[in-house]
Structure 1
Amino acid sequence: MMGQAGKAMDGAGKARPDRRQMDIFLEALAESSNVAASARVAGISATAMYRERRRNAGFAARWHEALCEGFVRLETELLSEALIAPTGIVKDATLKSRAQKYRLGLSLLAAHRAAVRGAKLPAGVAASLHEARQVMVEGESGLLAIAPDEVQPEYESSLRRVSWANGAIATLYSAAEPDSLRGPEHSAAWCDEVAKWPQGEAAWDNLMLTMRIGENPRVVATTTPRGVPLVRRLIRERGVATTAGRTQANSDNLSPRWLATMGSIYGGTRLGRQELDGEMLEDVEGALWSRALIERCRVEADAIGKPVRVVIGVDPPASANGDACGIVVAAHLRDDRLAVVEDASVERPPPALWAQAVAAAAARWGADRIVAESNMGGEMVTATLRQADVTLPVVAVHASVGKARRAEPVALAYERGQVVHAGAFAALEDQLCGLQVGGGYAGPGRSPDRADACVWALAALLDGVRKGRGPAVRRM
């Protein structure tokens, strides 16, 4: 039927686009990927266009083709503008400028969510659900703030869900709960501040298993470029494109006074290079270990021969639901060097499980002593190990000041070439490179469980060498 001024109307008296308006709309959509803007160009509301798409299969198919074309165009333009490095390669792992990174991530996600055929299920993952809501949804550059009025989404906090009128539904997740990502399916994802995710690699791996909807699932990760395992891994992976941005590039959206203050305090420092300039710094300032040092100390696992003495260092979790239990096996070799031979650490185990892991490691290597951090109580640690039939001597050591005092001579032994790693121990080495002079820690996770266990074991062996308990020939 026809309404006023010859406009096409449906049975309910609502405006319908004519063929000319649909053609204009689709042409604009292929240019911009913006439904609301394209509808304005065509002289009709976005709501009317969505109604037409629901009732007109041919128009819906053309819409999809135009949106796919527009998404490719938009993505290319956005990444080209964001690109600073001259290589022309763009990666989604490290955008530092706050508003810049959020707007890029959101623009890619918003354009992509409706372009995937039959799939409108994006995911939003942050370090916690609180941060997902405060930054990704309700923040100044969040979903609600940047969405045009015509396509303003609805946020349902109780369901962790953001919904759009076109049927797209984004679900929020916390990286602190990786198992919450088991089961769902997604077509796209925005991952914010992946460098601070408490269980980064576990959450990322579970998310990747959910990216199975649509023709071309994609993920954009925005983060400060800290040298944590997940960020380093993403930068190396095939199919990942990165870009970096300096805070100064976003100066139009930031307080001039704040910019001046940050520049005067942190300009030229390692922290400033990471936080303000978006540089990826591999080594922590003041770290006792560097990656280059550990690489110099690496040998093949089968090149160390039969050890003379083996000690196991243990850093038990403070509670049944605490962090990992660090379990590291170190050996005194016949050439008088010390070697890290195994990282047998267990993630978030109950007491019985970590005690069994210690017992199994002791049996594999013929250990003669266990050195365990006893902040949870020396007798309790010993009793837990005894319940797992560990009959070896257990030496309880205390952390705090003693930890720093013991770590520094162990690091010096590495510098002297007295310690080797018989193989690669990625998680342990990441933590070692986060231990700092004075006892600080700036590595992955909340606690350097593995690194502490390694220090206790090597410190015990060094003590034995100094006291003459190393390998020797006795006259009979």
Structure 2
Amino acid sequence: MLGGRGAGKTRAGAEWVRGLALGDPDFAQAPLRRIALVGETFADARNVMVEGPAGILAVHARHERPAWSPSLRKLEWANGAVAHVFSAEDPDSLRGPQFEAAWADELAKWRHVEATWDMLQFGLRLGAHPRQLVTTTPRPIPLLKRFLADPTVAVSRAKTADNAENLAPAFLDAVVGRYAGTRLGRQELDGDIIEDRPDALWTRSIFEAGRIDAAPPLMRIVVAVDPPASSSKRADACGIVAAGIDEGGTAYVLEDATAQGLKPPEWAARAVALYRRLQADALVVETNQGGEMATGVIRQVDPSVPVASVRATRGKYLRAEPVSVLYAQGRVRHVGALPDLEDELCDFGPGGLTSGRSPDRMDALVWALTELMLRDRREPRVRVL
């Protein structure tokens, strides 16, 4: 089921699981006893698929509602049906268990999508007719393309507008009104798979060719920050991207921690926390927006963090172009899936993003890789192991 934001994908998945577990004749001839629930993370699976306002617990009447054990990560119905919750961040957790059915939510955002999907298929081996439902906002990843080309896969689509009467009018005015008809709107609102922009600096095939599950030992790691000009709700996001480089000169994009709507102390704390967790060598901060305020607020959070200030003297496209060349040369790899960052990169061309918004994730990535690969090499700090 491909659908836009707020189109009712979660409700559809939850109702499907309810029907299977209770033996609703519209879904199954008899109750299915073993069901897998796979989310992008365990927190997503719990907060959206199970406990959310359109999740499994919400769609049951009180007398038929399953018992939910968060610590055991399972739902148990009175008739003996059981649903186990899994995270796509841990494909190996699906080794061993076996199921009659599975609900996979937001598959296009899974970090280890191919490995997790493969492990899930090996576990669907119970009953006369194992089945699975995928609910996701589409992205043009290879796995989804294979689904669409497979005649044995039933595909349904839902637009945000189809569920308008259940959505807040302010959301429809602000989001649908702004993005309807745009490239991003066709993907996020209409549920269409949008291929690469012809004039974009990056293509998805480059990311797929260089994607790895884990980075090797790295000589230097930086966290780059592209601060917003303000902290209002309508302000640009704060781009935060971590990358490292190995001894042979290959760079690895480690994490995209970009966040929207944070106040300066909040995004500074987020960047410093990522710096600490990765044992990075420096924070690279773009100071065009807010001048010394950006470095000053980081100093307030942690004065011991080394900050490298950078200032843009050329336009975004000219700064991004040499970094895209590094990708084309096979010198940059992504660790796991970074869907929001990759979507932004594949939508950036000479005129910017088709949405007209600021490419904050891309800016942070460009600063990180420029620092690691396009400047004089700096000595890494000594890490405590």
Residue 49 of structure 2 aligns to a residue whose secondary structure is: helix
- Match among 102, 105, 117 for residue 204 of structure 1: 117
CA deviation profile, 1:182-222 (whole Å, cap 9, x unmatched): 11111111111111112222111111111111111111011
Report deviation, 1:404: 7.6
Task: State whether structure 2 residue 20 is matched by structure 1 residue 112.
Answer: yes
- Match among 356, 367, 371 for residue 249 of structure 2: 371
Query: Could you list the runs of 4 or more consecutive aligned residues of structure 1 that deviate by over 3 angstroms after TM superposition?
Result: 113-119, 369-377, 400-407, 409-414, 430-442
Structure (1 or 2) with the greater strand fraction: 2
**Larger radius of gyration between Structure 1 and Structure 2:** 1
Cα distance between partner residues in 1 of 2:69 and 2:51: 12
Report deviation, 1:229: 3.3
Q: Equivalent pairs: percent with the same residue?
A: 37
Cα distance between partner residues in 1 of 2:159 and 2:99: 31
Report deviation, 1:350: 4.5
Cα distance between partner residues in 1 of 2:342 and 2:55: 36
Cα distance between partner residues in 1 of 2:342 and 2:73: 37
Corresponding residue of 2:143: 230
Once the two structures are overlaid, the 10-residue window that deviates more, 182-191 or 233-242, is 233-242
Residue 8 of structure 2 aligns to a residue whose secondary structure is: helix
* Runs of 5+ consecutive residues of structure 1 not aligned to the other structure: 1-91, 296-325, 329-341, 353-368, 378-397, 422-426, 460-476
Distance change in 2, residues 1:177/1:195 (3 Å): same
- Match among 209, 214, 219 for residue 348 of structure 1: 214
Report deviation, 1:175: 0.7
Corresponding residue of 2:134: 221
Higher relative contact order by CA 8 Å / sep ≥ 6: 1 or 2?
A: 2
Structure (1 or 2) with the greater helix fraction: 1
Matches for 1:271-310 after TM superposition, within 5 Å: 271-283=184-196, 287-290=200-203
Distance change in 2, residues 1:284/1:206 (3 Å): farther
1:188 and 1:218 in contact (8 A); partners too: yes
2:3 and 2:189 in contact (8 A); partners too: no
1:97 and 1:249 in contact (8 A); partners too: no
Cα distance between partner residues in 1 of 2:159 and 2:92: 34
2:139 and 2:193 in contact (8 A); partners too: yes
Corresponding residue of 1:95: 3
Report deviation, 1:97: 5.5
Corresponding residue of 2:170: 257
Aligned residue pairs, count: 270
Residue 98 of structure 1 aligns to a residue whose secondary structure is: coil
Report deviation, 1:130: 1.0
Residue 133 of structure 2 aligns to a residue whose secondary structure is: strand
2:101 and 2:124 in contact (8 A); partners too: yes
Task: State whether structure 2 residue 114 is matched by structure 1 residue 182.
Answer: no
Distance change in 2, residues 1:159/1:413 (3 Å): closer
Residue 371 of structure 1 aligns to a residue whose secondary structure is: coil
Cα distance between partner residues in 2 of 1:346 and 1:151: 44
1:116 and 1:214 in contact (8 A); partners too: no
Residue 71 of structure 2 aligns to a residue whose secondary structure is: helix
2:39 and 2:104 in contact (8 A); partners too: yes
TM-score (norm 1): 0.47
Residue 205 of structure 1 aligns to a residue whose secondary structure is: helix
Distance change in 2, residues 1:138/1:282 (3 Å): same
1:119 and 1:213 in contact (8 A); partners too: no
Corresponding residue of 2:84: 171
Cα distance between partner residues in 2 of 1:211 and 1:228: 23
Report deviation, 1:224: 0.8
1:136 and 1:143 in contact (8 A); partners too: yes
Task: State whether structure 2 residue 35 is matched by structure 1 residue 126.
Answer: no
Report deviation, 1:376: 6.2
Report deviation, 1:129: 1.0
TM-score (norm 2): 0.57
2:15 and 2:56 in contact (8 A); partners too: no
1:116 and 1:216 in contact (8 A); partners too: no
CA deviation profile, 1:29-83 (whole Å, cap 9, x unmatched): xxxxxxxxxxxxxxxxxxxxxxxxxxxxxxxxxxxxxxxxxxxxxxxxxxxxxxx
Residue 145 of structure 2 aligns to a residue whose secondary structure is: helix
Corresponding residue of 2:54: 141
Cα distance between partner residues in 2 of 1:219 and 1:204: 11
Report deviation, 1:346: 4.9
Aligned residues: CA RMSD? 4.6
Once the two structures are overlaid, the 10-residue window that deviates more, 112-121 or 404-413, is 404-413
Distance change in 2, residues 1:447/1:223 (3 Å): farther
Distance change in 2, residues 1:405/1:112 (3 Å): same
2:88 and 2:116 in contact (8 A); partners too: yes
* Runs of 5+ consecutive residues of structure 2 not aligned to the other structure: 219-246, 253-278, 282-307, 331-335, 353-358, 375-385
Tell me which amino acid in the other structure corresponds to 2:4: K
